[in-house]
Amino acid sequence: MSGIAEASERAAEPDPRDRGRAGGSAPAEQLDPRVCEERSQRLRRRLERLIGIAATEGNALVPLRNGDEIFGAMLAAIRSAEHTVDMMTFVYWRGDIAHEFAEALADRARAGVRVRLMLDGFGCRLIEKDQLALMDEAGVTIAWFRKPLHLSPLKQNHRCHRKVLVIDESTAFTGGVGIAEEWCGDARNENEWRDTHVRLRGPAVDGLAAAFAQNWAECQEELFDERDRFVESGRHGGAVVQVVRGSSSFGWQDMQTLMRVVLESAEERIRLTTAYFAPDDYFTGLLCAAARRGVEVEILLPGPHTDKRVCQLAGQRHYEELTACGVKIYQYQPTMMHTKAVTIDRIASLIGSTNFNRRSLDHDEEVMLAVLDGEFTAALDGHFDEDREKSVLIERGRWKRRDVLQRVREAAVLPIRRYL
């Protein structure tokens, strides 16, 4: 039996890890429960008041690590669907896994399930035509978000980077993974990317469904039909979750507010993992300010294996300033690091599609879960610890003495940094 098939069978069974740690992760050091509660309540009210989106209680989350586990859980959920499947993705490329998803979606459509698939017009341009034909003939409704040839120049740069799957209005997935062979496996070598997704049950599923609906409404006239039951989601766990959507428009965005609030609220520790690190000077300053006030700031980034070297160069321009402030920067060595996650003070986490770069924060449609839950945060912290063991620390003095050629490369990308 393949790794994905095994994972599918496991995902179909009740998962005892809901709200808990991923298997194998060591529990984090515990804080005083009263301190945790005070910090959680303070952060919750700041996020609700400053973003204007209420958090929901009673949610259960399962962190899913790497393709074998992520794809297995997603495919199991699709194959179990009885009423509706709504899926959106920035990347749908090629390979056996792409065909497996196409077959699963087509099968549910043939069975009478309402299946909707939204593909970003730029990110999914490599999808194979036979996959599209298979799904279309089976009755899957496929919509394209902003195909480049059909857009005005002002919209070309604003993409839908969200990854959302909602099954029967009750179970949802989000995170960083795309539908392509690059994400298959378990990050065992450079051909198997490292990524994190999350399975969500509870009232916060509505927030991810709304993220899908927002983009679907731009592409299709019919927003809902008789197969949408609009059922209320019961309590599945103890996690408090706020769903924050980033919008591909001009001006200050909710995603920027989200990042600013958590960085300014941290009192003890910030751990940031991102595939693409190219912030502007303002967000670099927030990281430095946190480090200066005594917060331990650790950033985990791709190392020798990256699919966007130009973005890496844009971020490396900030390494000297960040390390001088006491920020620790690690570069992951085994393969491409594609996870997008932040943990704060062992009490809160951000997980979703947003990178710590100008493109995610300024330009693209994104979605992020702000999770107030110690156990879920401990799971992500455990992942961070394990990934850090496979990473190399950027040494402050050594980076300051980097060669002229590296500095020239960093300077060369400055004119396009706002698009990275």
Whether the per-residue pLDDT at 196 is higher than 90: the answer is: yes
**First and final CA of the chain: distance in angstroms?**
41
Q: How confident is the model at residue 26 (pLDDT cuts 50, 70, 90)?
A: very low
CA-nearest of 377, 405, 284 to 28 is 377
Please state the three-class secondary structure of 42-96 as a single string.
HHHHHHHHHHCCCCEEEEEEEEEEHHHHHHHHHHHHHHHCCCEEEEEECCECCCH
Query: Which whole number is the average pLDDT over 323-336?
Result: 97
Q: What is the mean pLDDT of the chain?
A: 88
Higher pLDDT, 194 or 227: 194
pTM for this prediction: 0.88
Distance CA 211, CA 322 (A): 34
Whether the per-residue pLDDT at 123 is higher than 90: the answer is: no
Q: Which residues contact 336 (CB under 8 A, 6 or more apart)?
A: 182, 190, 193, 194, 275, 302, 305, 306, 307
pLDDT tens per residue, range 231-261: 888 899 999 999 999 876 655 689 999 999 9
Distance CA 87, CA 77 (A): 12
pLDDT reported for residue 416: 67
The token duo for 69 is: 């586990």
The mean-pLDDT minimum among 11-15, 93-97, 148-152 falls in: 11-15
Whether the per-residue pLDDT at 401 is higher than 90: the answer is: no
Superfamily covering domain 32-220+237-419: Endonuclease Chain A (3.30.870.10)
